[in-house]
Copies of this chain bind each other. A is one copy, B any other.
Amino acid sequence: MIIGVLGPEGSYSERAAKLWMLKNDLGAAKLRYFEDIEDAFFAAATGETDLSVIPIENSIEGSVGVTLDLLREDGAVISGEVVVRIEHCLLSKGSPEEIRVVLSHPQALAQCRHFLKTNFPHAELRSTGSTSHAARLAGEFEEMAAIASSEAAEKYGLKVLLSNIQDRKENHTRFIVVRAEKSGKYAPTASACKETGKEPGKIRGKCKTSLIAYLAKDRPGALYELLGAFAKRGVNLTKIESRPSKKELGDYYFYIDFEGSDSDALIKDALEDIKAKVDMLKVLGSYPALGNSEA
């Protein structure tokens, strides 16, 4: 079994994948590292990897736009999720006063925006494909620092100059586990994705479903009607996010996560109802909701 992640070694995606493997007894799986999120995603969609673990949302900086856009493409569905605590460190071969360049992934730079503005107002900021790629590059010159994990420091022989430098101490990233749509091989099993049944009559518990809906512009109340399909069945939304259609300003896709599985009669019924209300519906899959896996 091969699991794709954003590389090189020492990335938070790698940590997420290892946590996923641990929780799912997949110790024998091998990791394959990709240069960017898009490559890791398409590797799963085309079957080059069995699964890929992809960042989708951070508690400080919000959604990873490219991941939301990729989910609209054909070929991949969601098999699970995993949450990783993010403690960014400032890594370098040099000392703080030597630093002229700070490298990291744009999401990490944004999560440390205030830190950088206050402490390194004149540093040049370089965007890299991942935090671990930044760490690897920062090994070249003493005037360079990377924002990355402590694992990356170890991996690339850098000193941890400062730790926990993001603008809010509490910082988590949610990753999704994607697989080829055609392959049922790594779909969540029915038992993994089942309601707890502890609270009869309430759709709460271990399962979560994700979808993308498109509502043509200028249909007043269309989103309200869509949400009504959930509300009148007592289905709890855990997330709603809009993302540009890229066709014109003010035209959006809606990304919705909710509790329950598409194998439940109630959710099936809700999805049928929604299909009739929207201009496009893509169900991205039902999967066990692990919550803060690494809190």
Give chain A's interface residues, CB within 8 Å of chain B.
Answer: 36, 38, 57-62, 65-66, 83, 106, 109-110, 113, 117, 124-128, 167-168, 170, 172, 174, 218, 220-221, 223-225, 227-228, 230-231, 234-244, 246-252, 292
Contact = CB atoms under 8 A, between A and B. Distances in A.
Given A227-B223, A231-B220, A249-B174, A244 B125 contact: no
Given A227-B223, A227-B224, A249 B292 contact: yes
Contact of A236 (B57, B128, B220): B220
A244 B60 CA distance: 6
Contacts of A248: 59, 170, 172
A68 to B, nearest CB: 9
Nearest to A252: B239
Nearest to A102: B127
A228 B57 CA distance: 28
Contact of A244 (B62, B128, B252): B62
Nearest to A60: B246
Contacts of A234: 220-221
Contact of A126 (B66, B127, B224, B227): B127
Contacts of A239: 242, 250, 252
A250 B167 CA distance: 18
Contacts of A170: 246-248
Given A106-B109, A221-B231, A249-B83, A62 B65 contact: yes
Nearest to A219: B236
A246 B59 contact: yes
Contacts of A106: 106, 109-110, 127
| In the complex, the 9 A-B pairs of residues with the closest C-beta atoms, listed nearest first | A224-B231, A220-B236, A125-B127, A59-B249, A221-B231, A224-B227, A172-B249, A106-B106, A62-B244
Nearest to A236: B220
B172 A58 contact: no
Given A59-B248, A61-B244, 9 more contacts: A57-B249, A59-B249, A60-B246, A62-B65, A125-B127, A172-B249, A224-B228, A224-B230, A239-B242
